[in-house]
Structure 1
């Protein structure tokens, strides 16, 4: 999605891309700057001593943050052509946040639904993986909002499908996402109305969900709006967006529940990046500036 400079073929040659993701799921990639991936460089963010002083002692001693991410979600977070470096808009932005805090980053690939448990168990210091902020997640963790995205459907180009009446269709969705809850509720509405259920095919990887629609196994998919638009772009016209973006909500970084104070430092780092233009530069690099926000918050009030 959205860049004129070359991108890794995230959805062309999906089998190879997924094989790399699986084989490297336990690997970490350490970065001290924000210039990951190809394309325009991202300006370096200078450390803010007042914010660095708010970093928990054990993290400050380590000098880095271990980050759990599902690196199959282009253009937000995905593997570069080398098969090990995690790149994307989320990566560039959080690397800049970490720099403000005087820290380096180590990105570790994980299954999406294992990231929050990994944060709460201490395996990861933070989860950065396009997590929609919702009340259920805020019960488990501290969340810091940094972006806004909605849900959008996609189907084979030329297909006739109505997201508001997909009864009897086969729909692809990634495990553990808000879209799974969405399509489950839509299927129940179908059966409550005496219509055929929606067959929900769940995939660990968004790339697998996309491939299922491209191959014709499923009739449609739904995903976060930047992801759907990127998939359409990368499949060279095989897919098309369906309907409008809906249910816009913030993305949030995931921290342990007891680390609200650290969350406040991350919020302030984001505010500094917004003020100095770094935030806008990063979003523009990836073509996702439409989701930019001006008011990051710790545990924002959401439904």
Structure 2
């Protein structure tokens, strides 16, 4: 996604500009057909409203990015498909990743995408339905010779990740274990900002999801992904309200229908994210034991 040419970098990064909420009214992708048995699982208030308010965190290609007035990527494609199965209009908002869970808590959104790892901390404020699998890699500039393959390799370096992400907490934990060879950890509002810092030499490596790293490398061969850090199921976050129980079941049923019908596989293949395909959706809510990740 990046190059040493600043103008090229800036042009690419416009696709995922940070900190701006954008209503995706120009999105014209075809929605999946309504499935009455799945739509019937929805809470009555959402059925009557006819709209599913969906946050799409700004995580860049191939997951969520702007192209002109249109919001593209795996996340908006899945969001539209889920809403279609539920017989609802998808109201998509592009937001910073760090604002996703607070947006659910303040009732701005019903659900949020963003490839959330399901953690005990996050289960305190929201519920989740798994829909994909991912792991993280360090995105680095090949010519600089820094190719970390394990978390211990951050010692003595400046590294970064997105604010509010599991990768950021992972880096902080790794940095705390560096003895006599400190690591500096920087937080960025979006992947695009983090990668701009990487290209300008302000950080040595950026820990991001493998899909984001893959897209960057496709667009700029001077970059490389190093290591497989963590990994496991990722999820759609669902606002914890009086509607939670029914909405969770409806979202899960919508994902399972898309998986079984083959529409899910088509969406992932279109977005070059088939490496993370899930076989079924799983609900995690307050009191659930979260999945184990390899952090």
Q: Residue in 1 aligned with 2:239?
A: 256
Q: Residue in 2 aligned with 1:26?
A: 21
**Per-residue displacement from partner, 1:171-206 (whole Å, max 9, x unpaired)?**
12110000011110111110xxx3222111211010
8 Å Cα contact 2:55/2:95 also seen in 1: yes
- Which structure 1 residue ranges, 5 or more long, are not aligned? 2-8, 36-43
Q: Residue in 2 aligned with 1:41?
A: none
Once residues 27 and 276 of structure 2 are traced to their aligned partners in structure 1, the CA distance between those partners, rounded to angstroms, is 26
- Please point out which of 160, 163, 173 is paired with 2:146: 160
- By how many angstroms is 1:12 displaced? 5.1
Pair 1:138–1:88, CA change in 2 (3 A): same
Q: Residue in 1 aligned with 2:174?
A: 186
- By how many angstroms is 1:46 displaced? 1.4
Q: Structure 1 length as normaliser, TM-score?
A: 0.85
Pair 1:31–1:54, CA change in 2 (3 A): farther
Q: Secondary structure at the match of 1:202?
A: strand
Q: Secondary structure at the match of 2:124?
A: helix
8 Å Cα contact 2:117/2:235 also seen in 1: yes
Q: Secondary structure at the match of 2:238?
A: strand
Q: Residue in 2 aligned with 1:101?
A: 86
Q: Residue in 2 aligned with 1:69?
A: 56
8 Å Cα contact 1:142/1:260 also seen in 2: no
Pair 1:284–1:220, CA change in 2 (3 A): same
Once residues 221 and 266 of structure 1 are traced to their aligned partners in structure 2, the CA distance between those partners, rounded to angstroms, is 32
Is 1:13 aligned to 2:11, yes or no?
yes
Matches within 5 A, 1:238-253: 238-243=222-227, 245-253=228-236
Once residues 161 and 53 of structure 1 are traced to their aligned partners in structure 2, the CA distance between those partners, rounded to angstroms, is 51
Pair 1:16–1:278, CA change in 2 (3 A): closer
Matches within 5 A, 1:138-217: 138-158=123-143, 159-162=145-148, 163=150, 164-190=152-178, 194-217=179-202
**Per-residue displacement from partner, 1:18-48 (whole Å, max 9, x unpaired)?**
6x554xx23312478644xxxxxxxx52111
- Please point out which of 246, 252, 257 is paired with 1:267: 252
Pair 1:293–1:16, CA change in 2 (3 A): closer
Q: Residue in 1 aligned with 2:103?
A: 118
Once residues 103 and 111 of structure 1 are traced to their aligned partners in structure 2, the CA distance between those partners, rounded to angstroms, is 24
Q: Secondary structure at the match of 1:135?
A: coil
Is 1:302 aligned to 2:287, yes or no?
no
8 Å Cα contact 1:119/1:255 also seen in 2: yes
Pair 1:14–1:291, CA change in 2 (3 A): same
Q: Residue in 2 aligned with 1:220?
A: 205
- By how many angstroms is 1:226 displaced? 0.8
- By how many angstroms is 1:249 displaced? 1.7
Once residues 107 and 11 of structure 1 are traced to their aligned partners in structure 2, the CA distance between those partners, rounded to angstroms, is 26
Q: Secondary structure at the match of 1:129?
A: strand
- Which structure 2 residue ranges, 5 or more long, are not aligned? 2-6
Q: Secondary structure at the match of 2:159?
A: strand
8 Å Cα contact 2:56/2:94 also seen in 1: yes
